[in-house]
Structure 1
Amino acid sequence: MTAPLPVTLADIRAAAERIAGRVRRTPMLADPRLPGVWLKQDYRQETGAFKLRGATNALLSLPPERLVRGVVTASTGNHGRALAHAARAAGVRAVVCLSHLVPANKVQAVRDLGAEVRITGQSQDEAMDEVARAVAGEGLTEVPPFDHPAVVAGQGTLGLEILDDLPAPAAVLVPLSGGGLAAGVATAVKALSPATRVIGVSMERGAAMAASLAAGRPVEVQEQATLADSLGGGIGLHNSVTFDMCRALLDDVVLVSEDEIAAAMRHIHAVTGDAVEGAAAVGHAALLSGRIAPVAGTVCLLSGANVAPATFARILEGQAA
């Protein structure tokens, strides 16, 4: 008998109530250059990325006695910023562990929100080692970036919003990294619109969840520099939530190249006037490259806009990186 998945539609609905008024309900825009394709603009969150949903739900789910000493996390940037924001709003100490691969603009954004930043190692996995030390040595409570039921449930509120605007989409294309976003969105979408295909999209350079799903178990993948830096990092060899959920709920996984991501970033800027990061553009990269056929009722989830200005300027000039 297959074990029940650790996050349910009821959990996601409870998360939506818990975070109401603390995160934005973001718009969905029809893409005038790709008929039938919709853009879910969650980069319009106050912290510039969807991560505010999961971080806020996880923090608000903790009992007061767990918050006294503070919270800690590892991040590729956006989750750390989200947790710092949620912790400041709640008056809680936050420590954010980042690797040396995290762009400087994202590091500074975390600091600007009052969190203590610790930079260590060359991968998110090494940053997570520092989290373990902080939990054991300082009594901080970990709020993981993805592999946690409350984080997944918070990200799943995006799925509820998508279905409010488009009740039966043909497909939802979700950026795939550690799997918190993909698992949460897929749970909501599959529960309410079972015929909708949910496809995880990642970059060709160091896509840990994609490699793990292909192997049938969590595996280590070397983290590499990529335009989709928010999708970097491992899923954890002892992953307990998102791997099983992604394996059970995703209909497909597609990988895209750096040139395809760059072209998609330019496309989204032309359509919206906004500068989104590479991780947010992977769905459009899959459509524009023909890796996924655009059909009416396709939703691309645009996850973040925290791209370094210099990087985006190079993209607009036609460079891939």
Structure 2
Amino acid sequence: MGSVSLPDVNAARDRIVGRIVPTQMVLSRSLSDAMGVPVHLKLEHRQTTGSFKLRGASNAVAMLKLAEKARGVVAASTGNHGRALAHAAKLEGLRAVICMSRLVPANKLEEIRRLGAEVLIVGNSQDDAQEEVDRLVAEEGLTMVPPFDHPGVIAGQGTLGLEMLEDVPDAGTILVPLSGGGLAAGIAAAAKATKPEIKVVGVSMARGAAMKASLDAGRPVSVEEVPTLADSLGGGIGLDNRLTFSMCRDLLDDVVLLSEEEIAAGILHAYGQEREVVEGAGAVAIGALLSGKVRPVGPTVLLLSGRNIDMVRHRAIVCAQPVEGTTK
């Protein structure tokens, strides 16, 4: 099935120099005091496009052949990969088409359009959007840059693992948002190759966590995609998954799922205690600690993966108002 290894991640790091910014690592006094161990926050939500996705998209685009670039790029996205691919394509003057479902928040659609990409809204799930991508590849010859199940994308996300251990070499645990698995697989591959004893825990939402369902089943399975505060973690992993399922199965030490209330608590803590605006997917690592579902042993690194939240929704959460579209 293949995999992504430390040399691939190191090569990606060299390739994306100047295309991304190395993001800051800070110590959270509030979480460190609450947990009794040092808790560090990797502020990747401050990345150029507001999420970690720029790393993988930039590496994958940089690896394309000239003929592939000339045809233009296309991808399915829940928002952040689309924005990252649009940005990477714009830097090189490439055509970009982003296919998304009706569940993607309007603010993410607007940002992708602002970057000059073509946006197609297709169906009610990431799987529906992927069918349109497949059609565009077959009929128009566009070059697909998948959001997670792609060696270049995984290696690009893995550069975060290198930065984390350079900043916190004594880290014992890393908490990573988990969706299709490109981020978790890349970070785990880089971190465990550098420090084999480190534990990497994936965190997702209880509502429609495709990777967790697939790991439990022992094979990729489909799940219903439903509204959630962690909208960036939605979508399937692909029944023909080539890389991320096996890498997450082999490299992750645990996977935990959060309720909508626990995700909201993570968003609220990030804003109220850390003075950081993060989206639901970016707050799940904090939520995992606050809920007690992960009990850290030794220095711990939490990845704040994205900030691209609708600010009306964010205001409702931090003001403890009901949030539309996420109740069961």
TM over 0.5: yes
1:85 is aligned with what amino acid? H
The superposition leaves residues 132-174 of structure 1 with CA deviations (integer Å, 9 ceiling, x where unpaired) of: 0000010000000000000000000000000110113110000
Is the Cα contact below 8 Å between 1:262 and 1:319 reproduced in 2?
no
| 1:103 aligned partner | 105
The superposition leaves residues 269-312 of structure 1 with CA deviations (integer Å, 9 ceiling, x where unpaired) of: 12332210000111111100111113331111010000001110
Question: Quick check: 1:34 aligned with 2:36?
Answer: no
CA distance in 1: counterparts of 2:64 and 2:289, whole angstroms: 40
| 1:136 aligned partner | 138
Matches within 5 A, 1:1-321: 5-35=2-32, 36-319=38-321, 321=323
User: What residue ranges of structure 2 are gaps of 5+ in the alignment?
Assistant: 33-37, 324-328
Change (3 A) 1:300 1:320: farther
Instruction: Please report how far the alpha carbon of residue 315 of structure 1 lies from its aligned counterpart in structure 2 after TM superposition.
Output: 0.3
CA distance in 1: counterparts of 2:322 and 2:264, whole angstroms: 5
CA distance in 2: counterparts of 1:41 and 1:50, whole angstroms: 10
1:253 is aligned with what amino acid? V
Is the Cα contact below 8 Å between 2:185 and 2:248 reproduced in 1?
yes
Is the Cα contact below 8 Å between 2:173 and 2:296 reproduced in 1?
no
2:27 is aligned with what amino acid? A
Identity of aligned residues (%): 60
What CA RMSD, in Å, does the superposition of the two structures yield over aligned residues? 0.9
CA distance in 1: counterparts of 2:42 and 2:198, whole angstroms: 16
The superposition leaves residues 86-111 of structure 1 with CA deviations (integer Å, 9 ceiling, x where unpaired) of: 00001100000010000000000000
SS at match of 1:188: helix
SS at match of 2:272: helix
How many pairs are equivalent?
Answer: 318
1:29 is aligned with what amino acid? V
Change (3 A) 1:234 1:320: farther
CA distance in 1: counterparts of 2:154 and 2:257, whole angstroms: 22
CA distance in 1: counterparts of 2:296 and 2:272, whole angstroms: 18
CA distance in 1: counterparts of 2:8 and 2:100, whole angstroms: 29
1:174 is aligned with what amino acid? V
2:13 is aligned with what amino acid? A
The ranges of structure 1 where at least 4 consecutive aligned residues each deviate by more than 4 angstroms after the TM superposition are none
SS at match of 1:223: coil
Is the Cα contact below 8 Å between 1:262 and 1:320 reproduced in 2?
no
CA distance in 2: counterparts of 1:287 and 1:295, whole angstroms: 12
User: What residue ranges of structure 1 are gaps of 5+ in the alignment?
Assistant: none
CA distance in 2: counterparts of 1:310 and 1:286, whole angstroms: 24
Range with bigger deviation, 266-275 or 176-185: 266-275
CA distance in 2: counterparts of 1:273 and 1:289, whole angstroms: 20
Instruction: Please report how far the alpha carbon of residue 320 of structure 1 lies from its aligned counterpart in structure 2 after TM superposition.
Output: 5.8
CA distance in 2: counterparts of 1:319 and 1:97, whole angstroms: 32
Is the Cα contact below 8 Å between 1:156 and 1:184 reproduced in 2?
yes
